[in-house]
Amino acid sequence: MLWRGSDAFEVTDHMEGGMIRAVCLGSVAGTTFGDVLTDSGHAVQVLMPPPGSVVDGLGRILESGEEEPAERAGLPLFAEPPALSAITGVSGTVDTGITAIDFLAPIPRGGSACVAGERGTGKSELVWSLLHLAGADRAVVATSQQGRVAGLEAFLGDGLGGIAASGNTFVLARPGDAPALRARVPLSALAVAEHRRSGMGLDTLLLVDGTFGSAAASLLREGRFFERCASAEGQLTLVFTAEAEAGQEATDAAGALSGSFDAVIATTAQLSSRAIFPAVDVVESTSKALDPSLVGQRHCDAAMGTKELLMRARELEEAVAMLGEDVLSPADALVVRRAALARAALDQPSVAFERVTGRRGEHRVVQRAVELFEELLAGTLDSATGPELAARMRGA
């Protein structure tokens, strides 16, 4: 890592005659061929920020709830993954309070999840809901869009000062930053999360929200991003967002980043356009945590039965759209009705944005969902209404 004033350079090649080729992580204004740079004596590092800080891709503080320490440790942007013998694996699931996730596509604690879908389908809302539940000193967030930060300000209040007061750490790619620095923001956030996990032994939630471009995708592979997001000494849970192109399956968008996500949570424009939030397509969403050893046999049976019900209803609704309702047998009509009740029970207002929407958010208990959907699949709720099921999910 080299410096020219306050601008950092990452060396990519050493050439003859003491010359180097480097990527500029700051302003290139005034830089010319043959300029003399100062050698830092180490590879590119990220300064470790105090809790409740907003920093750039090199860990330089933009806003903080505490005084900046006189000295801060720096950790390498590119590091080795934990040794296989040190990896502890998953332990239970993350309690998001969102039924569509906790019941049908649970996020494994200490594992990884990708929230994937088209633009405008509520991916950020899901991420901010997770942040709301993370608690102080636990979450590290990488974000590339000021609009996402504006959403956080609306949630936390008091602008960036409110973000700082939350106790979480935000690594921000600002519009005016050098493209190379913006592309390295996910790796910078990972370095901070690794410090909390291994250096401090803390359970940490790493949220990577935003599109960082093809350059970032290449760097994620080069920096062994997903291999480094493992639980060792402390739990590290990764939640990554991926934007799907129009018509692209969410699983394909997630797979373009990594084929090893433990859960893929698909969001869909079909639901968000009808103001159904969270707009999670539970049929397309998948999770390795939907396993009896993690969530119990009753949970697994109820969740798989609900998925099968919704999948069958989708097939029938497509047939009705082409041929009309007369194509439905009484048994098929019952499937469609039960699926409508299931969707009503899964619809829930967001805790994260209740201050903005004026609609009281709900944190739902997954065991209540297991019991309700067992009854729904058994047919004991066939005469119920959608509002009645929603009230039961709230515990009313």
pTM of this structure: 0.86
Sequence-ordered strand ranges (E) for 44-184 = 45-47, 53-55, 61-64, 74-76, 112-117, 139-143, 169-172
Separation CA 217–CA 189 (nearest Å): 15
Separation CA 60–CA 74 (nearest Å): 11
Kindly report the CATH class assigned to 53-291.
alpha beta
Domain range annotation of the chain = 2-42, 53-291, 297-394
Q: State the CB neighbour count (10 A cutoff) for residue 257.
A: 20
Write down the pLDDT at residue 211.
65
- 326 has pLDDT over 90: no
Name the pLDDT band for 107 (thresholds 50, 70, 90).
very high
333-357: burial string, b at 16+ Cβ within 10 Å, e else: eebbebbebbbbbbbbbbbbbeeee
- What tens digit of pLDDT does each residue of 280-294 get? 899 999 999 999 999
Considering 77-91, 184-198, 263-277, the range whose residues carry the highest mean pLDDT is 184-198
- 9 has pLDDT over 60: yes
Q: State the CB neighbour count (10 A cutoff) for residue 175.
A: 8
Q: Kindly give the pairing relationship between strand 204-209 and strand 236-243.
A: parallel
Helix (H, G, I), strand (E, B) or coil at 124: helix
Name the CATH architecture for the domain at 297-394: Orthogonal Bundle (1.10)
Separation CA 161–CA 143 (nearest Å): 17
- What tens digit of pLDDT does each residue of 10-39 get? 888 888 877 888 888 887 777 777 778 888
Write down the pLDDT at residue 152.
59
The residue assigned the tokens 């993690």 is 294
